Amino acid sequence: MKWSVEGKWIVSGLALSLLLMGIISFISYRNATQLIESGNKVKHTHEVMKSLIDIFATLTDAESGRRGYILYGERSELNRYNQAMQSLDAKIQKLQQQLADDSLQQQQLTKLKLLIAQRTKLSKQSINLKNTGKSSFNIQETLVNISNQNRSQIRDNISQMQMREEKLLEISVKYSQNNIHNRMLIEFIGTLLNFAILLGVYILLYQQLVKRQQAEAIQRTLAQEKELSELKLRFFSMVSHEFRTPLSIILGSAQLLAQSNQNFPEERKLKNLHRIQSSARLMNQLLSDILTLTRAEAGKIEFHPELLDLEAFCINLLEDFKLFSQQQHVIKFVSQSNFTHAKLDENLLYSILTNLLSNAIKYSPQQKDILLILSSEADAIIFQVKDFGIGLPSEFQQHLFEPFHRANNVGKIVGTGLGLAVVKKCLEVHQGEIYVESELGTGTTFTVRIPKDDSQNKE
Ligand code: ATP
Ligand code: MG
């Protein structure tokens, strides 16, 4: 597959955008994990602090018990001392586990353990002295002094351990804060970059779309122009072809008449004159059809509706037909309507019915009758032209009203394919419609439906 320059840009832009999104997501993920870790660290620090406070409180409790026993000899105080000392081991054990990953704290803990051991020893000595009745102030004083010293050493040790924990927590919080800040910055820059890339891709795509639309528009115009020029070509060749036959008949007959002498029979002269007349009429019809179509295309078809006596109009039309067309067919007029007048354009209606009747005559055998039926509906006038002729092939019916289209069953029957296109245009200005029913070899019925103008039509 060959990529255009824009295509390459779009693909690279999208890939870059995806990469950026991936990086941002990775950083966010890492940052979230660090935050969780930092949360765990805070929790851990609190637990260590709690353990340290607990150990110190237990030592204080044991000390109070010991003193109580020494001063007042209360057994309950001795019990208090014993209980506190018994629970101490488990607490130290717990603290050791909590500090397992910090070697510095481990060292401090070892020191603490030594101090606690020393304290235990001193307390035991003091209690033993008491038990042996040597509880006088002088004897106990040395022990008390050493004990106080040990006590302040333990306090210092514990506060050092607490400070260390606080320091670690502070470092961890600072690290998280930095991370959050960096992540926000990266996310902001990444989003901006992504936006810029997507905007660039959008602009490229839009430009491509505009280019494609322009190319399509040019192609459409070219196709239209081609179609138009083909139509024109077809039109001119058809027109020149159609004109050539009647013109050569006129020329031939005129030449014959010019060369004729007195011996030339009168009957043949008349025949030639008739041929000239009918050829000229054909040319006239052709020209008038072309004129009507071009006017209709330009929207300049003349439309002068006036009140017509429909029956009289149809009868006159049929008489004109008999007079001019020299046809052998019998055209029957049937009026099924009590609707006598309508406001229509006489010339256009004349053109519509003449074309339909001349088709009926052309495309049916002489011995077959033709019917012109006038009827009406509540809101329309209906004209029908019915023949029993060659009929229309069904596949041709969609092209029936297109100029220069003729069915393939016309044989040698002369025609240009303009008549029905003219009919259609004349009907359009009346807002009318035309339908066809036809069976090949049986006959055709054209139905013209023109809406009534209620304000002016008379029943
Ligand atoms: P023109 O009327 O311009 O002299 P035409 O009769 O060939 O030429 P249209 O009247 O437009 O042209 O008719 C188009 C085609 O429709 C005809 O060539 C013919 O094939 C078919 N057609 C029209 N009327 C009938 C009909 N009554 N019976 C059978 N075929 C018809
Ligand atoms: Mg015709």
Question: CB of 420 closer than 6 A to ligand 1?
Answer: yes
CA dihedral (175, 177, 182, 187) positive or negative = positive
Q: What is the pLDDT of residue 311?
A: 93
Q: What is the pLDDT of residue 458?
A: 41
The rounded Å distance from CA 349 to ligand 2 centre is 15
Q: What is the pLDDT of residue 456?
A: 44
What is the phi-psi region of residue 404: left when phi exceeds 0, alpha when psi lies from -120 to 50, beta otherwise?
A: left
Cα→Cα distances 257→67, 124, 243, 247, 264, Å: 163, 164, 21, 15, 9
Contact present, 396 and 407 (Cβ < 8 Å): yes
The rounded Å distance from CA 359 to ligand 1 centre is 6
331-335 and 380-387 as β-strands: parallel, antiparallel, unpaired? unpaired
Task: Spell out where 378-432 has E strands.
Answer: 380-387
Which residues lie closer than 8 Å to 314 by C-beta, 6 or more apart? 333, 335, 353, 372, 374
Predicted model pTM = 0.52
**Can you list the residues of the chain whose pLDDT is less than 50?**
456-459
Which of 201, 181, 165 is CA-nearest to residue 17? 201
Question: CB of 417 closer than 6 A to ligand 1?
Answer: yes
What is the C-alpha separation between 127 and 107, in angstroms, rounded?
30
The rounded Å distance from CA 355 to ligand 2 centre is 6
Question: CB of 381 closer than 6 A to ligand 1?
Answer: no
pLDDT, tens only, 46-60 = 999 999 999 999 999
Q: What is the pLDDT of residue 459?
A: 40
Question: CB of 444 closer than 6 A to ligand 1?
Answer: yes
Question: CB of 443 closer than 6 A to ligand 1?
Answer: no
What is the C-alpha separation between 396 and 45, in angstroms, rounded?
94
Q: What is the pLDDT of residue 358?
A: 92
Residue of 359, 418, 444 to mutate, ligand 1, most atoms within 8 A of C-beta:
359
Considering every ligand atom shown, identify the ligand nearest to the alpha carbon of residue 404 and give its number.
1
What is the C-alpha separation between 183 and 203, in angstroms, rounded?
30
pLDDT, tens only, 381-406 = 999 999 999 999 999 999 999 987 89
370-377 and 433-439 as β-strands: parallel, antiparallel, unpaired? unpaired
The rounded Å distance from CA 181 to ligand 2 centre is 87
